Structure 1
Amino acid sequence: MSSDRKMKSLLAQRDSAISRLDDLKRVAENALTDNNVHANFRCRYKHIDVILENFESLHNEIISLSASAEGADIKPQLDLSSSFHDDYYYIQSVYENLFDKSTTEIENYCKVRLPKLELPTFDGDLRQWQTYSDVFDSLIHNNAALSNIDKYNYLISSLEGNALSIVKCTPVTSANYLIAYSALKRRYENKRLIAAAHWQTIERTKRINVVDNLSALRVLLDTFSENLAALENLKFPVKQWDFIVFSMLFDRLDSVTQTRFELEHGSHLTLHDYYETLFEFLEKQCNAWNNVALCNSSSKKTDIAKFKHSDRHISSKVGMSSSFLVGSSASTSACCRLCSNSHNIYTCPHFLNKSTKERYALVKSKKWCTNCLGDKHTASNCNSKSVCRQCSLQHHTLLHFGSESATESPTINTTNIKSSEVRDASVNLFASPDHTILLSTALVEVRDISGNYHILRALLDSASQSSFITKKCCETLKLISSPLSISIKGVGPITAKANQGVSCKLKPHGFDEPVLNVDFLIIPQICTNMPHVTIPRNQFDKFTNLQLADPYFNKSAPIDLLLGADIFAHVLKGTAIRGSSDEPVALDTEFGYVIMGKVNFVSNTVSSGSLNRSKLV
């Protein structure tokens, strides 16, 4: 059949459908004024959806043929379709006004509106097929009120991914609906493949630490429960797999939970009841922890009080928190009495650029102590035991006049004062002119507020009585901090304060255990990059085959957190690989081997490792 003949045939059939709707419209108008026409209208109205489906099928084909012709104007066709639908909805409104008044009144009277049912989407995941298929069949496929073209549109709108690709190439027509629906059924209605998908989901579950990860336990239980229920719905003998399923779930628990279960239930387990007993045991654990968490969250003030009480307990026990890791920049709490910047007077550039005579005159005019440069007392009342490094007399090194008395006014150039003398408060923990000291670092995974883990770089400091985390990291992890007030003591008499603390969990990078609960003090910065310069890797060839806690320990990089002695003692395993006294040592820890000690590497930037004790942690 040529395209012209086909077009004529389609136009004739469509005109027939329009004519049938016109007849029904005429009867509907008569029914508005004549009750005797109501029965006739009811009978004819039953076929209105068939007329609509027939019209749309023919009209779509006509549009397709018209659009393929060059220069074709399809606007008349669109206007015709609009007019047809206007008549269709007019007839429906007449019918509802005449015969559905009672239903409308009941709906208006009822104040409760049920939620709209939405179709689930299906993307080809076999585990979701059974649920999707049952809902779609109930709401759409078996709904006699819907035409096939409507059902096809619903089918396409509810599919995604691989499932959509099966039907999207089939034209959207009434006749093709059953073809597309059957193709989808043939692809996914496979009992063996569906069962395999559910079983593989159970097999892919991993071992967890129940005590430290309640949310993971809930996910584990839900995974077993949902997938075993799906297998049972597929008529598989799940009850007969009791010991197999029990063993799979039991093996995914940590040793502490396994031991607790054995002590409570191990002696009276019955055949075919292993899995149910273990599942109920773990369910009780979840419920108990949920109840405790609910009680704790309802009293936030109590938690803060506990945190403060813990701080007071620590203070009463050790006096204050100490950390012997110090940084190179000046403390924010120090304020220069000469220029008002954040540094001490003996590191002030303006003070150091003056001559010895000018410095001495300034100290005397300000009535500062000539021994320690303090401004609260004079030299006669100074308790400092420090003496001049040049002459061992009772005055500050920066006020030394060579062979003359400190009270005289000689002219001597300040270049005679060595840089080591000027850095009176400097303590170099990391470098010296002939070697570098490497401190132990490790990559750890820290859990954020959502339960996700982030890789951070930690410094292990056995000399610190507290653990520290930077404020930036705390904000990245979105951890909830608690207010506190703890003094931090570094080298010498200088102290700083931490005003916030936080508790979180961390574990070795790449491993699920052990999970450590750590209380951190929050500070802006822990230290400068560690090590202060990158050290060539060939210095550590003998550690090549070790599993390192920080594979990049030799590269200069920032430190995100510091683990103090409370954690260091628990992660240390005891094994050490040592060389000579001039070589670094590898210590085995729960994080892997950490490298620390003296390295014979001379840096051209030794001063960058010279750290001022006024900058605590």
Structure 2
Amino acid sequence: MPTDDMTSLRLKRRGTKAKFTRLGNVLDFLIEEKRPVEEVKEAFKQANQAYVDLQSKHEAYTEKIENDEEFNKEELWLDECQNYFCKLQIREKDYISQMSSSQEPQQPTERDEESSQRTVVQAESKRPQAPRFNMERPKLPTFQGDIREYNVFKADFQHVIHPHYDERDALMILRSCLKGKPLQHIRGIGRDYEAAWGQLDLLYGDSRMVADAIMEDVSRFRPLKDGEDERFCDFVNLIRRSFNTLKEVDRAEDINNSHMLAIIEKKLYVTDRQMWFRKQGEGTTATLEALLKWMEIELRSRIRSSAPVRNDAASKSRSAVSQVTACEERQQDYRCWICKNKDGHWTDQCKTFLDKSTAERLEMVKSNRACYSCLKQAGREHRMATCKKRRRCPETYKGQPCKFFHHPLLHPSMDNNAVGVALVRGTEAMLPVIRARFSGSELKIQGNVLLDSGAQISIIRQGLAEDLGLTGKSISITITKVGCVEESVTTSLYRVPVSSVDGKTIHKILAVGLPCINDDIEEVNTDNLARQVGLNPRELRRGSGSIDLLIGIDHAMMHAGETRQRGNFIFRKSPLGWVVFGASKLNQQYQNRVLNMQLSPATDLSAFWTTESMGVDVGCHCEAERMTKVEKDEHDLIWNSAKKVGKQWLVPYPWKDNPEKLPDNRVQAERMLQATEKRLAKNPEHAEVYKQQMQEMVEMGFSRKLTDEEKKRHDGPVHYIGHHAVVRPEKRAHQ
């Protein structure tokens, strides 16, 4: 968006904020001077309207902000304004309540009483006879075993039943009101009504057990976060309900004490906690009743401020409490909706999601109704068309830039879904893959086996182990990824029964379970190769698709057998059958990712490897697993394009798109230059430092002025990058 429009919206918001502050000061002055209630109400009404206007101006400004960090900063600014408004609202309510209680009602005279009595008698004589309605009888209370509701149930039941029924009928009615376990507990009582209540009192009537259950509810309530107004409503109701329940059993002191008060305060958000402490500083005693009163006032203020009448269409999506009487379940805001994680990694960093193929990721996004651009769960106000992170896919498809606006992880290309892989690329390589039969407890499955003599251990695909019903031993392994990044994974060690497709000998392979071993193996026609070495084409069973079992060198006998050679191809008769591998000048292409790892050693060799890497270690300790795919691509682009020229590093601009598409923005660049000159003209000291910095860049060769001849020779795109001064007074050299 143009800078001028952003500046205009920001100035309008600043003017509205100044008006709101002035009206708030007027309200404080009227309360301090103890002016009449009507004047205070009118002043608060004006302040409330100014706050609504401020919210509207703020929403109009923040809608144009694309940077998430800048948006969060502006939201914190609005939170401060909201806290100030809440203080005004609480102070206005307290003042009105105080003035109302201080006014004593006038005592009526005897003449007024006689006149009012005559008026009432005359009115009743003239009042028409009201029709009578048959009211529905109240339903009997029920009890399902919640110890918190037992005392209320017992009191209601005895109030309704005892005056009208004897013990025999009351016992029958009691059985009809009990559900679940409470009904089972009194089945052997017989006709003894008092014994039934005695059994229920023994299990549910202990006041200490009631107090323990309520304390557990309060302790297990997750602390509130910023903007969780709906959970704040639930928390207030929980504290009020708990306090009333404990008063019913004469144990109110169990929650109305300093220890429980500290626990309740700890559950509040830090801003709410600060407001409550300021309330105590104004003379309020720190008791549970006072805290509940303050929380209820705060709850009403949040309900009113988030009402639809005080929110425009742009702010309705951020209204956390739209209705209290009929609250609908809203979708949980998870960072990762796959792991149901709110505070950890995002969806595009989830290992479960990254281990899937592109088709599986797309299906997961569809089934979970997530946004295709940012991978967050979508809703009424968030979909791909309105997503703030909607960007064109930076990947290429068939040599052309992708024209869709999906996330790079959804791009239809070769999936990088192998866990800890070492890439093996080649246009002529064929890996030793063979079809084999896997035996489980109840079924047999055919799959692909890779005989990898370069792997130190054997690996089985986790999905196959689960399908076979195998039970393994829990172990921990260390996976070394590309870039020497190590990762510890907890998995299982399985004993896998495997045999040839038509053979009867079963071999037991100890293999580690992992979600994925490699990319899909392409199908290859091996009939001609088999005939060249005198084999029946049916004897050479090479599979295609995903690898189900990788047999490493830990099972060396599985790699031995009769060997034949034809050109660059090797034919070997393994215990699972004939397998072919090697290279040739074929027209087919192969591209596979093979997993290479080892079990975590018990010996600490960190000092040895540190010594070996001296003089060659670049000192990079980046946590690569925390980078998203987009961040990883940007990192690789910058790293691969950097060149060392003399004693300097030359780093070109990392264009995401083709720079040929850049527009000629000379007008905008000149405006930015004019703004910088005006700003520096107001401060000669800054202008001098800025001039020195620019001269230093020219002297060191970082920048130079283009000649007229160079401008004429240039026939490519023209795009200007504006320069502006960043003044940092705390630094000795301003930049």
Q: What is the TM-score normalised by the length of structure 1?
A: 0.38
